[in-house]
C-alpha cells in the first residue's frame, strides 16, 4: 500500500505506536514523534505541531497515513490527531470539521488480542475505555480482517505444515481467551510441551543447541545469526545468554 502510493508520487506517512514496530516500516516513525502527541495525554489534548511548520505542511500534503500497532495506545492519541487535522484542513476543505481526521485517509493496523493501552493501576474497565474502539471515531472505521498468519507461513514446508497450522490455531485461541483459567482478570496458560525448554541445569545448553545448531561451523555466517535471535525479558538474562555463548566460542574467534 505504501509503495504503490509512493510510486504515484503521493506523500505517505508510516507511523507505529512503538519504536520497534516503526523500524519495520519504510521511513517509519513513532506516532508520538511524527504527530507530536503528548506523553501525558488527556481527553482535551491536541497534537503539538506549530501551524505553518514543515511538519504541519507535510501533514497537509499527505495522501495516506498508515498507523501500525494501533491498539497499543490510548484512544486520546487518535482523537488528538483527529482534532488537529480537522482544524488544520479547514483551510483547504471547508467541511473538514465534520469528517474524521479532517478528511485524510488513515489506515489503523493491529490486533486487539495483543498489547492494549497500559493504564497505571487501571481496572479492566479502564483499559477497555481507553481503547480505540471506545472512541467516537470508531463508528467511522471500516474494519477489514486478515485471516491468514503470513508470518508463520513464510518458512512453512510440507513436512511441518500441519504443526504450523496447529500452532497458529493455538495462538488464536489464546488471544480469544479460550485457553487458560480466568482468575480476577488474569489468566494462567499451560504452554504445550513442544515449545518449552524445561527449567534445569542444562536449560541454556538446550536453548543454544536449539537456536544455534552447529554454531561453530557457522561462525562466519552473518545470516546464520540474523535468523536466530534469542529474545529475553531482562538485560540480566541477555547478559547471561551472551556469556554462555561466549564460553562456547573458541578464544581466537571471539
pLDDT given for residue 201 in this prediction? 74
Per CATH, the architecture of 2-140 is what?
Answer: 3-Layer(aba) Sandwich (3.40)
Nearest to 203 by CA among 251, 152, 237, 180: 237
Report the distance separating Cα 235 and Cα 241, nearest Å. Answer: 10
Cα 30 → chain centroid? 11
Nearest to 244 by CA among 209, 199, 219, 195: 209
Residue ranges per structural domain of the chain:
2-140, 191-254
User: Which H or E run includes 204?
Assistant: helix 203-211
Q: Mean pLDDT in runs of 10 for the chain (254 residues)?
A: 86 94 91 95 93 91 94 96 90 77 93 89 90 94 85 66 81 84 74 81 81 83 81 88 83 57
Residue with cell 492519541: 77
Amino acid at each position: 500500500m505504501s509503495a504503490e502510493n509512493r510510486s504515484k508520487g503521493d506523500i505517505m506517512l508510516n507511523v507505529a505506536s512503538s519504536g520497534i514496530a516503526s523500524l519495520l516500516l519504510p521511513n517509519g516513525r513513532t506516532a508520538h514523534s511524527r504527530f507530536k502527541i503528548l506523553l501525558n495525554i488527556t481527553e482535551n489534548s491536541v497534537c503539538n505541531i506549530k501551524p505553518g511548520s514543515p511538519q504541519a505542511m507535510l501533514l497537509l500534503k499527505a495522501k495516506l497515513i498508515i498507523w501500525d500497532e494501533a491498539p497499543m495506545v490510548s484512544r486520546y492519541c487518535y482523537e488528538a490527531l483527529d482534532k488537529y487535522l480537522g482544524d488544520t484542513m479547514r483551510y483547504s476543505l471547508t467541511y473538514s470539521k465534520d469528517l474524521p481526521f479532517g478528511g485524510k485517509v488513515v489506515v489503523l493496523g493491529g490486533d486487539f488480542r495483543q498489547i492494549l493501552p497500559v493504564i497505571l493501576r487501571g481496572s479492566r474497565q479502564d483499559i477497555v475505555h481507553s481503547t480505540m474502539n471506545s472512541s467516537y471515531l470508531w463508528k467511522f472505521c471500516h474494519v477489514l480482517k486478515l485471516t491468514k498468519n503470513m508470518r508463520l507461513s513464510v518458512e512453512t514446508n510440507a513436512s511441518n505444515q500441519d504443526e504450523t497450522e496447529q500452532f497458529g490455531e493455538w495462538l488464536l485461541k489464546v488471544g480469544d481467551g479460550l485457553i487458560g483459567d480466568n482468575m480476577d482478570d488474569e489468566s494462567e496458560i499451560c504452554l504445550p510441551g513442544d515449545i518449552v525448554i524445561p527449567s534445569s541445569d542444562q536449560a541454556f545448553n538446550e536453548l543454544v543447541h536449539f537456536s544455534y545448531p552447529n554454531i561453530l561451523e557457522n561462525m562466519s555466517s552473518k545470516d546464520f545469526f540474523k535468523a536466530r535471535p534469542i529474545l529475553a525479558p531482562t538485560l540480566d538474562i541477555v547478559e547471561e545468554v551472551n556469556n554462555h555463548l561466549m564460553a562456547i566460542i573458541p578464544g581466537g574467534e571471539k
